[in-house]
Amino acid sequence: MSITYRWGMAIDLDRCTGCEACVVACHAENNLPVSTPEQAAKGRTAHWIRVDRYYEGEFPDVKVKYMPVLCQHCDNAPCEPVCPVHATYHNPEGLNVQVYNRCVGTFYCANNCPYTVRYFNWFEPEWPAPLDLQHNPDVAVRMTGVMEKCTFCIQRIKRAKEGAARDGRRLADGDVNPACVQSCPAEAMVFGDLNDPESRVSRLARNGRATRLLEELGTKPKVFYLQKVK
């Protein structure tokens, strides 16, 4: 193996409109179960990416700030050491991945995740018709009792790498995009290889507007948020 990839993402908060297209795309791509209104009210939804809303000012002078939050794929991930069965681990490309078959459901990883981006399967997953007919064959359907989370669409990365390997080349910038990035109408999200200093995501990460969420915890997240600092 030559240089491996190190996947990262940049999200421009000044561009995000809070439309939640990324959330829908993620659901479709990753076979995320659809919850009922009752379960949703109990906080039992599973969205590998969610759009947090923060309000500034008093009504009617309110400004809403949107922040899409997904797994930050920390280089120093607090969720990893606490799993007693190695279900959550770091893969060679810097992805923080979850092995569903190994997970026994101790919930510890989710408790130790400062971003609250881990989602649990409270029941056997269900899809109301006709959604049950549109499963993505590249992604496993998770069983009850296991934790799951954003994978940066690892199935897409894998497929793209296989394609590139057939042509005997390295993946070029923009060859692979997770569903959320692909679907963002405001083009607020950029995905790519942080090992390549000239990739778009690397350049955005060096941008003066770039910060990382809760980076003071030392988690070294690989998602960069861009916003104008007032």
Partner 1 sequence: MAPAPELLPYQRIREDLFRPLSRVSRRYVLATVCAFVVGAAGLAAWAYQLRRGMGVTGLQRPVFWGFYIVDFVFWIGISHAGTLISAILRLTDAAWRKPVTRAAEAITVFALMIGGMFPIIHLGRAWLFFWLLPYPNSRLLWPNFRSPLLWDLTAIVTYVTGSIIYLYLPLIPDVAQLAEHNTPWRRKLYRALSLGWTGSDREWHALERAMKLMACIILAVAVSVHTVVAWDFAMAVAPMWHSTIFGPYFVAGAIFSGIAALLIVMSLLRKVLHLETYLTPHHFRNLGKLLLLMSLLWLYFTMSENLTVWYGNEPKEMAVFGARTRAQYAPYFWIMVVLNFVIPFVLLGIRRLRTIANTTIAAVCVVVGMWLERFVIVVPTLANPRLPAAASSYAPTWVEIAITAATFAAMAMLYMIFAKLFPIIAVWEFKPHPPEDE
List residues binding partner 1 (CB under 8 A): 39, 42-45, 52-54, 67, 69, 78, 81-86, 102-108, 110-112, 114-116, 118-124, 143-147, 213-214, 217
Give me the least distance between CB of 96 and partner 1, in Å please: 15
**CB closer to partner 1, 75 vs 138:** 75
Tokens of 80: 């990893």
Give me the least distance between CB of 109 and partner 1, in Å please: 9
Please measure the distance between the N-terminal and C-terminal CA atoms of the chain and give it in whole angstroms. Answer: 44
- Closest to 191 in 3D by CA, of 52, 5, 11: 11
Q: Tokens 């005997």: give the residue.
A: 168
Give me the least distance between CB of 191 and partner 1, in Å please: 22
Check if the beta carbon of residue 17 is closer than 8 Å to that of residue 65: no
**CB closer to partner 1, 44 vs 209:** 44
Residue 97 to residue 90: CA distance in whole angstroms:
6
- Give the sign of the dihedral formed by CA 118, CA 52, CA 176, CA 30: positive
Give me the least distance between CB of 158 and partner 1, in Å please: 22
Residue 38 to residue 46: CA distance in whole angstroms:
14
**CB closer to partner 1, 80 vs 138:** 80
**CB closer to partner 1, 46 vs 194:** 46
